[in-house]
């Protein structure tokens, strides 16, 4: 029962994600044509640390469907905190949720985000579909640009709202690509652009996780006074390694994630 509700929710999240990230569907189709079965390692969500919509609020529907809070991560440079959640059914994707530390930014940014959040009917924050409900507030082009000067992440959430930032292919389950570098090579030959910040492959066997990602697609968003084409969402690829205790590492690596966040920066 819960499992059906969860499967439906994950499907609906994928539909929203693909509408923002057409290249992810193309990659899935190319891999399927090679006989691959795609397993989703994790889904990432972004938000603000405001009490109405912080990690606790965004994670609630997942906790109700059997997820548990696991690792915590801090990002000093970008002023973000994150938590990852796992389901007892290990076949289900992990959920990685980050939140922006609003108090680290200017008074005007804080006031603007408070205003956006307060403009929304409180019931919106209790919607079990919040994490794929899109942008609940109005935003102007100038507001978007002012937020972007201080934080690309802040502007992304303000413009696109609540929706999966990325899904992630679990590379260990691929038959044709034993190394992440092989998959990256294939994707580049097929014409996809990869995030090269800190090198194409983030992490290593020594930290039990290697990751790479595409650069975000772009999408047209209708703002209150203008239509703007902005970076939307990207696709990630993760290869996990077995730890000394014999178990596959399930966590994240802050130093790597710091660079993965940059996949939505739009120019590299």
Q: Given the rule CB under 5 A, which residues bind Ni ion?
A: 44, 236
261 part of the interface to ligand OOG, by CB under 6 A = yes
46 part of the interface to ligand OOG, by CB under 6 A = yes
Q: Which of 170, 231, 237 is nearest to 202 (CA)?
A: 237
214 part of the interface to ligand OOG, by CB under 6 A = no
Query: In angstroms, what is the minimal distance from the CB of 220 to ligand OOG?
Result: 21
Query: In angstroms, what is the minimal distance from the CB of 250 to ligand OOG?
Result: 12
230 part of the interface to ligand OOG, by CB under 6 A = no
- For the window 66-105, what string marks contact with ligand OOG as x by the rule CB under 6 A? ------------------------------x-x-------
13 part of the interface to ligand OOG, by CB under 6 A = no
| Strand, helix or coil for residue 108 | helix
User: Whole-angstrom Cα distance, residue 184 to residue 200?
Assistant: 8
Tokens of 103: 């108090």
252 part of the interface to ligand OOG, by CB under 6 A = yes
Q: Which residue, 112 or 202, is less far from ligand OOG as judged by CB?
A: 202
Would you say the C-alpha torsion 153, 156, 49, 252 has a positive or negative sign?
A: negative
48 part of the interface to ligand OOG, by CB under 6 A = no
CB 131 within 8 A of CB 48: no
Q: Cβ–Cβ contacts within 10 Å for residue 258, how many? A: 18
CA torsion angle 263 239 86 233 (round to 10): 20
23 part of the interface to ligand OOG, by CB under 6 A = no
Q: Which residue, 141 or 193, is less far from ligand OOG as judged by CB?
A: 193
Q: Cβ–Cβ contacts within 10 Å for residue 231, how many? A: 21
DSSP 8-state code for residue 50 = -
User: Whole-angstrom Cα distance, residue 96 to residue 43?
Assistant: 6
Of 101-160, binders to ligand OOG (CB under 6 A) are none
Residue 131 interacting entry, from ligand OOG, Ni ion, none, C-beta within 5 to 8 Å by type: none
User: Whole-angstrom Cα distance, residue 241 to residue 258?
Assistant: 20
Query: In angstroms, what is the minimal distance from the CB of 9 to ligand OOG?
Result: 19
Q: Which of 188, 193, 191, 160 is nearest to 20 (CA)?
A: 160
Q: Which residue, 155 or 260, is less far from ligand OOG as judged by CB?
A: 260
Tokens of 89: 């059914």
Query: In angstroms, what is the minimal distance from the CB of 224 to ligand OOG?
Result: 25
Per CB under 6 A, residues contacting ligand OOG are 44, 46, 96, 98, 165, 211, 236, 252, 256-257, 260-261
């Amino acid at each position: 029962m819960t499992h059906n509700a969860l499967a439906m929710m994950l499907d609906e999240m994928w539909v929203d994600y693909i509408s923002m990230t057409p290249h992810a569907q193309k990659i899935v189709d190319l891999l399927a044509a090679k006989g691959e079965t795609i397993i989703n390692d994790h889904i990432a969500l972004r938000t603000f640390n405001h009490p109405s919509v912080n990690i606790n609020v965004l994670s609630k529907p997942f906790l109700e469907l059997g997820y548990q809070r696991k690792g915590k991560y801090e990002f000093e440079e970008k002023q973000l905190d994150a938590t990852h959640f796992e389901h007892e059914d290990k076949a289900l994707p992990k959920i990685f949720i980050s939140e922006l530390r609003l108090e680290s930014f200017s008074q005007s940014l804080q006031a603007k985000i408070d205003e956006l959040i307060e403009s929304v009917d409180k019931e919106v924050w209790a919607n079990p579909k919040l994490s794929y409900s899109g942008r609940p507030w109005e935003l102007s082009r100038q507001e978007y640009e002012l937020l972007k000067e201080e934080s690309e992440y802040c502007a992304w959430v303000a413009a696109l709202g609540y929706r999966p930032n990325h899904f992630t292919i679990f590379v260990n389950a691929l038959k044709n690509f034993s190394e992440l570098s092989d998959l990256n090579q294939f994707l580049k030959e097929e014409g996809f652009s990869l995030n090269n910040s800190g090198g194409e492959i983030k992490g290593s066997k020594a930290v039990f996780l290697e990751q790479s990602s595409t650069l975000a697609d772009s999408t047209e968003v209708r703002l209150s006074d203008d239509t703007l084409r902005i970076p939307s969402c990207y696709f990630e690829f993760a290869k996990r390694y077995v730890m000394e205790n014999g178990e596959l590492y399930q966590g994240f690596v802050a130093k790597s994630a710091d660079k993965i966040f940059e996949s939505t920066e739009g120019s590299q």
